Chains A and B, each alone.
Chain A
Amino acid sequence: MSGEWETVIGLEIHAQLATKSKIFSGSATAYGAEPNTQADLVDLGYPGVLPVLNAEVVRMAAKFGLAVGATINRRSVFARKNYFYPDLPKGYQISQYELPIVAGGHLDILLEDGSTKRIGITRAHLEEDAGKSQHEGVGVSTIDLNRAGTPLVEIVSEPDMRSAKEAVAYMKKIHTLVRYLGICDGNMQEGSFRCDANVSVRRRGAEKFGTRAELKNLNSFRYVEKAINLEVARQIDILEGGGTVVQETRLYDADKDETRSMRSKEEANDYRYFPDPDLLPVIIEDSFVEAVRASLPELPDDKALRFQQQHGLSPYDAGVLTASAEMAAFYESVVALVPSDPKLVANTVMGDFSASLNKDNLDIANSRVSAAQLGVLVSRIVDNTISGKIAKEVFEAMWAEGLEADAVIESRGLRQITDAGAIGAVIDAIMAANPKQLADYRSGKDKLFGFFVGQAMKATDGKANPALLNDLLKAKLAP
């Protein structure tokens, strides 16, 4: 039955801008300080204090807008979103409402079938974050206002995604982009990058969207996928049972792996938005936009395309290697040392290297093997000193013991055997020891060729040059 349903998803991503000070005050934004030590009178909403816009956030938002091909509005306006909550000291949040700084962009995501899909970005606007409420048991809540006034850019997509996987792909792409641009540290555990999802379903082919639910509190890619899938299943259940979906805000509870209603449309606040009279409209000059454009780094998609064109990588590999600027830079450093075989470099970086980083939960900056060290290792494959298989063993030793590739190869005697005479002698011995297999092979059991390769590799501890071994075996086994 559920095959008849189509899922429609739009995301609102909140990315915390990586400024040193807050959006409207001089307080520091560093994460993890003692509660309420990074909140000044402006953040506390004291009587008489006024907000002053941090110019850096405008530059960062413009950077994002240009990177997604959006319009940078030459005039944008901060508005007040009014509601009462203890972690919102002023009783209103300063945000952009009718006139956001960024309007109308797009981002292409790579689908599982290898095709790309364009996701529309409706707008991106600047706003201040609220503080943090912590509910510590019955009747006790504490407030930390360190986060109050931290700059956010809220990136609102069009309802263009049709599955949880697409939503995750889009979110990851935005995550990559903001880190490339240096405007957000992307740390999801600390809440620097989080997302709400608007989810609805409709009969396939229907024009009208179904009634949507807004899912809150999605602070990991995994949760986004799980929560959306749960919500889609819930909505389909309701509709197939003859019910109607209610427009509401739902909270994803990762511990219970369920979504539950926070508030319905009827209970929703009337935020009474109006332009904040304490702040002037943000006026942006063309020269500012051009200066920001000139400061943009090579963007992930451009880099991926270049890797495909210059290095002959597949779109998938190019996508993986450009998922972070650090990964791409690492790859390029290795390629510079082994320009003859970028594909081999890509496989090594995406394979053993990435696996080891993941296993030890390290980022590239803290890698145990440098690009220069990895370059030497890959060169040794290319110049036939070792085989790709042996390279795995060498890499493991480099990673675990902090050794250089050449030192591992020498000390463990891993140098490849390229002496035709030596390999020939090994083959002769194997043929002599396995007369039955030899006879069978010669009578037409071609598959036994692999048996002889294996025996030879075993006898040489895997060091025989594979190509040479191949050639010699073929010659000697021939009837």
Chain B
Amino acid sequence: MTVPTLAALSAGLKTRQYSSVELTLAALARVERSQPQLNALVTVTAESALAAAAAADQRIAAGTAGPLTGVPMIHKDIFCTAGVLTTCGSRMLSNFVSPYDAHIVTLLADAGMVMVGKANMDEFAMGSSNETSYFGPVSNPWDTTRVPGGSSGGSAAAVAARLAPLATASDTGGSIRQPAALCGVTGIKPTYGRVSRYGMIAFASSLDQAGVITVSAEDAAMTLQAMAGFDRRDSTSIDAPVPDYVAELQQPLAGLRIGILKEFFGEGLSAAIEGPVREALATWQRLGATVREVSLPSLPLSVPTYYVVAPAEASSNLARFDGVRFGHRCDKPRDLVDLYKRSRAEGFGAEVKRRIMTGTYVLSAGYYDAYYLKAQRVRSLISDDFRRAFTEVDLLLGPTTPTTAFGLGDKTSDPITMYLNDIYTIGANMAGLPAMSLPCGFADGLPVGVQLIGPHFAEGRLLAAAHAYQRETDWHLRAPPAFGADFAGEA
């Protein structure tokens, strides 16, 4: 059974095997059928999707189409979409229709992509299981009693279930890679600043990075090609030329130095994960890569550091949700303070409140130095560790997650256990590094992901290594049986 990739769909559209409207109708139908089981989307934009598809078909007919033109896709609901509900998974924004498009929404629309809907997510991207969404949890297409991971759980589940070949996502501490791993799909978090944050609702500004979840590394390269680049509306966006990621996929692997992250293979890593990850490593060795162990002694500090820095920034970023100009407003406020208190108390869920309180605490007078400032120092140490490592190796490798997808409800009562799910992914955010997760096998029928981390701006190297691996293996092409019907065949 073959499941088309973005590359295949792009080719099919070009050769008129099907039209964009046909593909879009098929995607919309799959979305509709999947919703009761997966709840992967918050909003379906059938009408505008069909209009965009018709326009894409005209471009294809006129010969002005690009590689992405006419392909259906889904945006994580953290990206603002003009005229469309943009909820960020929160009751606070359950009525928010954005007046503008996020930068990447504009770029992908300009490339001719067809948005069929908005993906469910953990509220304000705070969560690792998609269970904090106001719109209900998302299920893992491989086992609907399990979580898809988070916060981009809707995006990962949608691509795993082949509702669309790709979904945008965002990654603050692993929110692209962890759900990609748990859902058996490919996810890339680019270098901080590589993709504009304009229009991506902020969680922790210094860590947030937009990226994409796809079936394959090649698809990720094609999509990133359109998303990456300088945007003057984002001061942290980096003004550096965007390489030809698709061309770089062909880079030979011979001589590639892979570092195994010692700290990622110790206590806490399940054997079910370690096996497939080590097998993947062997595959890369067969392809010509050399392997050595690398130690990043500060890396184990990344989780506690993250849970100071990210909530601190979040506590400030989320202050704008006050019930005054947009979003949820409490009924009949008695006065200003009542308006603030009740609108926020009602609008935010428990995890968001927990992080706002944590963040407010660590920034408070008398605690700032002990928490926030210290965390920033540790963050520098982590970055230094990575910098040193990249003088010896080209890429770092490790598991994406300590375990496979856990059951819905299993960890909701214990935030600390939940937080430890991101233990392998947070380091890359701390240092602003590009990182990917790609499927490398299964354990008890559940997908396992292997993570690659590169130096700044080494997206091309990451994608090439992933692509070489995916030419040797077919883990990424396996689709969950319940949702795996041929996507394009339905068109």
Q: Which chain A residues have a beta carbon within 8 Å of chain B's beta carbons?
A: 41, 44-53, 80, 82, 84, 86, 89-92, 270, 272-274, 277-280
Could you tell me if A91 and B319 are in contact, using CB atoms closer than 8 angstroms?
Answer: yes
Jot down 30 A-B pairs with beta carbons below 8 A, ordered by A: A45-B320, A46-B325, A47-B80, A47-B88, A47-B93, A47-B201, A47-B321, A48-B80, A48-B198, A49-B199, A50-B235, A52-B232, A52-B233, A53-B235, A82-B316, A82-B319, A82-B363, A89-B324, A89-B325, A91-B322, A272-B315, A272-B368, A274-B313, A274-B368, A274-B372, A277-B205, A278-B205, A278-B236, A279-B236, A280-B235
A52 to B202, CA, bound (A): 15
Could you tell me if B326 and A270 are in contact, using CB atoms closer than 8 angstroms?
Answer: no
Q: A47-B96, A48-B200, A82-B319 are in contact. Are A270 and B232 (CB under 8 A)?
A: no
Could you tell me if A84 and B319 are in contact, using CB atoms closer than 8 angstroms?
Answer: yes
Q: What distance in Å separates the Cβ of A282 from its nearest Cβ neighbour in chain B? A: 10
Contacts of B313 in A (CB 8 A): 274, 277
Closest to B309 in A: A277
A92 to B313, CA, bound (A): 12
Q: Which chain B residues have a beta carbon within 8 Å of chain A's beta carbons?
A: 79-80, 86, 88, 93, 96, 98-100, 102, 197-202, 204-206, 232-236, 312-313, 315-316, 318-322, 324-327, 336, 340, 360, 363-365, 368, 372
Could you tell me if B319 and A280 are in contact, using CB atoms closer than 8 angstroms?
Answer: no
Closest to A269 in B: B365
Contacts of A270 in B (CB 8 A): 364-365
Contacts of A272 in B (CB 8 A): 315-316, 360, 363-365, 368
Given A272-B365, A274-B313, 19 more A-B residue pairs with CB atoms under 8 Å apart are: A45-B320, A45-B325, A46-B320, A47-B86, A47-B201, A47-B327, A48-B80, A48-B199, A49-B199, A50-B198, A52-B235, A53-B235, A84-B340, A86-B336, A89-B325, A91-B322, A92-B316, A277-B236, A278-B202
Query: What are the 4 tightest A-B residue pairs by CB atom distance, in nearest-first order?
Result: A91-B319, A277-B206, A272-B363, A277-B205
Contacts of A280 in B (CB 8 A): 235-236
A17 to B139, CA, bound (A): 54
A89 to B326, CA, bound (A): 11
Q: A47-B93, A52-B232, A274-B368 are in contact. Are A80 and B98 (CB under 8 A)?
A: no
A280 to B235, CA, bound (A): 7
Contacts of B315 in A (CB 8 A): 82, 272
Could you tell me if B233 and A47 are in contact, using CB atoms closer than 8 angstroms?
Answer: no
Contacts of A82 in B (CB 8 A): 315-316, 319, 363
Closest to A24 in B: B235
Could you tell me if A274 and B233 are in contact, using CB atoms closer than 8 angstroms?
Answer: no
| Of the residues A51, A89, A277, contact of B320 by C-beta under 8 Å | A89
Q: What distance in Å separates the Cβ of A387 from its nearest Cβ neighbour in chain B? A: 67
Contacts of A89 in B (CB 8 A): 320, 324-325
| Of the residues B201, B236, B322, B326, contact of A84 by C-beta under 8 Å | B322
| Of the residues B79, B86, B316, contact of A91 by C-beta under 8 Å | B316
Contacts of B340 in A (CB 8 A): 84
A45 to B313, CA, bound (A): 15
Closest to B339 in A: A86
A330 to B368, CA, bound (A): 55
Could you tell me if A91 and B320 are in contact, using CB atoms closer than 8 angstroms?
Answer: yes
Summed over the interface, the residue pairs from A and B with CB atoms below 8 Å come to a total of: 97
Contacts of A277 in B (CB 8 A): 204-206, 236, 313
Could you tell me if B326 and A274 are in contact, using CB atoms closer than 8 angstroms?
Answer: no
Closest to B325 in A: A44
A277 to B205, CA, bound (A): 6
Could you tell me if B364 and A47 are in contact, using CB atoms closer than 8 angstroms?
Answer: no
Contacts of A41 in B (CB 8 A): 99-100
Contacts of B364 in A (CB 8 A): 270, 272
Could you tell me if A48 and B98 are in contact, using CB atoms closer than 8 angstroms?
Answer: yes
Contacts of A47 in B (CB 8 A): 80, 86, 88, 93, 96, 98, 201-202, 320-321, 326-327
Closest to A45 in B: B320
Could you tell me if B197 and A50 are in contact, using CB atoms closer than 8 angstroms?
Answer: yes
Contacts of A44 in B (CB 8 A): 325
Closest to B327 in A: A47
Q: What distance in Å separates the Cβ of B42 from its nearest Cβ neighbour in chain A? A: 15
Closest to B231 in A: A50
A47 to B203, CA, bound (A): 10
A80 to B236, CA, bound (A): 16
Q: A47-B88, A47-B201, A86-B324 are in contact. Are A274 and B319 (CB under 8 A)?
A: no
Best-surrounded residue of B100, B102, B316, B326 (most CB of chain A within 10 A) = B316
| Of the residues A48, A49, A80, contact of B316 by C-beta under 8 Å | A80
Q: What distance in Å separates the Cβ of A284 from its nearest Cβ neighbour in chain B? A: 16
Closest to B205 in A: A277
A86 to B320, CA, bound (A): 10
Q: A89-B320, A92-B316 are in contact. Are A278 and B235 (CB under 8 A)?
A: yes
Closest to B376 in A: A275
Q: What distance in Å separates the Cβ of B464 from its nearest Cβ neighbour in chain A? A: 30
A31 to B360, CA, bound (A): 36
Could you tell me if A92 and B325 are in contact, using CB atoms closer than 8 angstroms?
Answer: no
Contacts of A53 in B (CB 8 A): 235
A41 to B320, CA, bound (A): 12
Closest to A141 in B: B336
A273 to B202, CA, bound (A): 18
Best-surrounded residue of A52, A82, A90, A277 (most CB of chain B within 10 A) = A277
Best-surrounded residue of A48, A92, A278 (most CB of chain B within 10 A) = A48
Best-surrounded residue of A273, A278, A279 (most CB of chain B within 10 A) = A278
A49 to B234, CA, bound (A): 8
Closest to A91 in B: B319
Contacts of A274 in B (CB 8 A): 312-313, 316, 363, 368, 372
A372 to B13, CA, bound (A): 79
Q: What distance in Å separates the Cβ of B122 from its nearest Cβ neighbour in chain A? A: 16
Contacts of B318 in A (CB 8 A): 91
Could you tell me if B99 and A46 are in contact, using CB atoms closer than 8 angstroms?
Answer: yes
A279 to B236, CA, bound (A): 7
A86 to B96, CA, bound (A): 19
Could you tell me if B320 and A48 are in contact, using CB atoms closer than 8 angstroms?
Answer: no
A48 to B80, CA, bound (A): 7
Contacts of B372 in A (CB 8 A): 274
Contacts of B233 in A (CB 8 A): 50, 52
A80 to B206, CA, bound (A): 14
Contacts of A92 in B (CB 8 A): 316, 319
Contacts of B316 in A (CB 8 A): 80, 82, 91-92, 272, 274
Q: What distance in Å separates the Cβ of B372 from its nearest Cβ neighbour in chain A? A: 6
Q: A274-B363, A278-B235 are in contact. Are A48 and B99 (CB under 8 A)?
A: no
Contacts of B197 in A (CB 8 A): 50
Could you tell me if A48 and B102 are in contact, using CB atoms closer than 8 angstroms?
Answer: yes
Contacts of B232 in A (CB 8 A): 52
Contacts of A84 in B (CB 8 A): 319, 322, 340
Contacts of B365 in A (CB 8 A): 270, 272
A270 to B362, CA, bound (A): 12
Closest to A86 in B: B324
Q: What distance in Å separates the Cβ of A267 from its nearest Cβ neighbour in chain B? A: 14
Q: What distance in Å separates the Cβ of A263 from its nearest Cβ neighbour in chain B? A: 15
A80 to B360, CA, bound (A): 13
Closest to B364 in A: A270
Closest to B336 in A: A86
| Of the residues A45, A48, A51, A91, contact of B235 by C-beta under 8 Å | A51
Q: What distance in Å separates the Cβ of A262 from its nearest Cβ neighbour in chain B? A: 16
A274 to B322, CA, bound (A): 21
Closest to A84 in B: B340
Q: What distance in Å separates the Cβ of B48 from its nearest Cβ neighbour in chain A? A: 19
Q: What distance in Å separates the Cβ of B471 from its nearest Cβ neighbour in chain A? A: 38
Q: What distance in Å separates the Cβ of B201 from its nearest Cβ neighbour in chain A? A: 5
Contacts of B326 in A (CB 8 A): 46-47
Q: What distance in Å separates the Cβ of B144 from its nearest Cβ neighbour in chain A? A: 31
Q: What distance in Å separates the Cβ of A433 from its nearest Cβ neighbour in chain B? A: 85
Closest to A280 in B: B235
Could you tell me if A49 and B198 are in contact, using CB atoms closer than 8 angstroms?
Answer: yes
Could you tell me if B363 and A279 are in contact, using CB atoms closer than 8 angstroms?
Answer: no
A52 to B196, CA, bound (A): 13
Q: What distance in Å separates the Cβ of A50 from its nearest Cβ neighbour in chain B? A: 5
